[in-house]
């Protein structure tokens, strides 16, 4: 007979969003499911936060019980133990049958949808079509006088931070993109915040926003899939909640009409010092390069990137404020490498000490520069924004020329 106390605790999911509770009346660690499998939000009280270490897939209920006895100085910890385990399990926050059921149901529901529905309408931007157009128009009221491009423009990079936080960089980048016109297919290389590292998430579904439905470039996807099948994850569920693609789709629709033709690709993070050493990554870079060569001016390239992520929200002990000179100096150093077209120099800087600056746009940039050899970046505007009082995100609007 197995002692119930020796039962191994299911591990805590690694893909949860964890942050200090913003409510001073309910302090602790806030846990939520960014994948949308569960709508619950839990706040783990401060005295129980360290107890989460026992949800590692190896510790038992007895290990957790002994720890609770020590920290509470009481043997009557059964209710606390059961409440913690039940709350995590019922919320779908543990890797057990509850979570797997939620995950499979969500993936099946997405597979059956004819479109990829708008996830951020009514939050990041208005849900009403007219209000949405007015919302984006306000950013275009005073257009900047952009410098003349030093070569033939092939695309842009813009932030995926909130519109309010990075609106000037959005405005400058997409103002530059206007000259490319509505008749191209726009390949969006978007930072993937939830997908597998070194994988590229794609979907055949139109993106739906309040402005309408895009035209998916599925024939282009078929070409890429034939060239690099092992690098692509088709109908990737990460598209459901990924703002980095949706924010740019909306801008493209606003400029070129709701039916603009797009191929959104979610670019997973890469931690390799030499990405080409991976056969499937090399195939993807070569596949994109082949598409760029074959289709030429029929394509436009849109990169959805932010730069540094610094402060307690991102795991740093030190607080950071807007306009931090060290962050700006590092950003400008990397951008200068992109301006030279030296992607090897850029990547060497990113890989130094595993990138403590946490540039979340480095993988899309590397992918793009490998796909279009000879391309160079032109900075249009640089910015940063305090996402909270102690944590800052930096970003830019850039134009790419050959």
Helix (DSSP H) and strand (DSSP E) numbers for the chain: 12, 15
DSSP of 92-128: T-BSSHHHHHHHHHHHHHHHH-SSB--SSBTTTB-SS
Tell me the per-residue pLDDT of 76-100, one tens digit each, with 9 for 90 and over. 999 999 999 999 999 999 999 999 9
User: Considering the entire predicted model, what is its pTM?
Assistant: 0.91
β-bridge partners, 395: 383
pLDDT at residue 5, as a whole number: 54
Do 233 and 330 belong together in one domain?
Answer: yes
User: Which of 255, 292, 295 minimizes the C-alpha distance to 375?
Assistant: 292
> What gap in Å lies between CA 271 and CA 363, rounded to an integer?
9
Residue 146 shares a structural domain with residue 91: no
Question: Lowest mean pLDDT: which of 14-23, 245-254, 282-291?
Answer: 14-23
What is the model's pLDDT at position 144? Answer: 86
pLDDT for 57-75, tens place per residue? 999 999 999 999 999 999 9
Which of these, 69, 77, 87, lies nearest to 28 by C-alpha position? 87
Average pLDDT over residues 92-116: 97
Average pLDDT over the chain, rounded to an integer: 95
Q: CA dist 282 to 279, 395, 402, Å?
A: 5, 27, 22
Longest dimension (CA), the chain: 78
Kindly give the interhelix angle for 129-139 and 243-256, rounded to the nearest 10 degrees: 90
Q: Return the pLDDT at 321.
A: 82
Per-residue pLDDT for 235 more than 90?
no
- Lookup result for tokens 């950003």: 331
Q: What is the pLDDT of residues 299-348, one digit of tens each?
A: 999 999 999 999 988 889 899 987 789 999 999 999 999 999 999 999 99
Q: CATH no. for residue 169?
A: 3.40.830.10
Residue 18 sits in the same domain as residue 40: yes
Domain termination site, one of 109, 135, 158: 109
Q: Same domain for 226 and 101?
A: no
One domain for residues 269 and 382: yes
User: Is 62 found in the same domain as 128?
Assistant: no
Residue where a domain stops, chosen among 46, 80, 109: 109
Bridge partners, residue 215, by sequence: 261
Q: Which domain, by its residues, includes 253? A: 116-401
Q: Name the domain boundary from 109, 124, 156.
A: 109
Percent residues over pLDDT 70 in the chain: 99
Q: What angle do CA 362, 193, 109 make, to 5 degrees?
A: 145
**Does one domain contain both 191 and 230?**
yes
Do 48 and 194 have their domain in common? Answer: no
* Same-domain status, 164 and 100: no
The closest of 291, 301, 304, 321 to 393, measured between CA atoms, is 321
The count of structural domains within the chain is 2
Residues 146 and 34 in one domain: no
Residue 79 and residue 222 in one domain: no
What per-residue confidence (pLDDT) applies to 197?
A: 94
Domain containing residue 94: CATH number: 3.90.930
Shared domain for 68 and 150, answered yes or no, is: no
């Amino acid at each position: 007979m197995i002692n119930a106390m020796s039962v191994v605790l299911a591990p805590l999911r690694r893909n949860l969003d964890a942050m200090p509770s913003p409510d001073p009346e309910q302090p602790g660690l806030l846990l939520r499911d960014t994948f949308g499998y569960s709508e619950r939000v839990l706040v783990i009280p401060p005295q129980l936060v360290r107890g989460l270490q026992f949800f590692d897939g190896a510790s038992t209920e007895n290990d957790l019980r002994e720890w609770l006895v020590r920290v509470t100085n009481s043997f009557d910890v059964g209710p606390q133990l059961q409440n913690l385990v039940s709350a995590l399990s019922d919320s779908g926050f543990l890797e057990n049958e509850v979570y797997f059921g939620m995950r499979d149901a969500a993936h099946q529901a997405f597979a059956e949808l004819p479109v990829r529905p708008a996830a951020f309408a009514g939050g990041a931007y208005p849900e009403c079509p007219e209000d949405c157009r007015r919302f984006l128009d306000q950013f275009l009221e005073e257009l900047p006088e952009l410098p003349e491009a030093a070569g033939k423009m092939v695309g842009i990079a813009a932030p995926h931070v909130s519109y309010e936080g990075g609106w000037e960089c959005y405005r400058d980048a997409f103002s530059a993109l206007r000259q490319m016109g509505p008749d191209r297919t726009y390949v969006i290389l978007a930072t993937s915040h939830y997908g597998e590292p070194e994988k590229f998430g794609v979907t055949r579904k139109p993106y739906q926003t309040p402005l309408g439905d895009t035209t998916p470039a599925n024939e282009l996807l078929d070409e890429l899939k034939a060239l690099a099948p092992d690098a692509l994850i088709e109908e990737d569920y990460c598209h459901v909640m990924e703002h980095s693609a949706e924010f740019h789709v909306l801008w493209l629709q606003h400029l070129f009409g709701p039916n603009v033709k797009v191929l959104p690709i979610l670019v997973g993070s890469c931690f390799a010092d030499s990405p080409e050493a991976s056969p499937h990554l090399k195939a993807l870079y070569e596949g994109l390069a082949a598409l760029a060569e074959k289709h030429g001016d029929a394509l436009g390239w849109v990169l959805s990137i932010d730069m540094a992520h610094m402060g307690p929200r991102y795991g740093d002990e030190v607080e950071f404020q807007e306009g931090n000179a060290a962050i700006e100096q590092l950003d400008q150093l990397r951008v200068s490498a992109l301006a030279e077209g030296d992607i090897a120099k850029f990547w060497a800087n990113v890989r130094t000490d595993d990138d403590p600056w946490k540039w979340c746009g480095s993988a899309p940039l590397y992918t793009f520069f490998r796909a279009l050899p000879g391309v160079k970046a032109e900075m249009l505007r640089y910015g940063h924004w305090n996402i909270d009082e102690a944590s800052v995100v930096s970003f830019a609007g850039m134009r790419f020329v050959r």
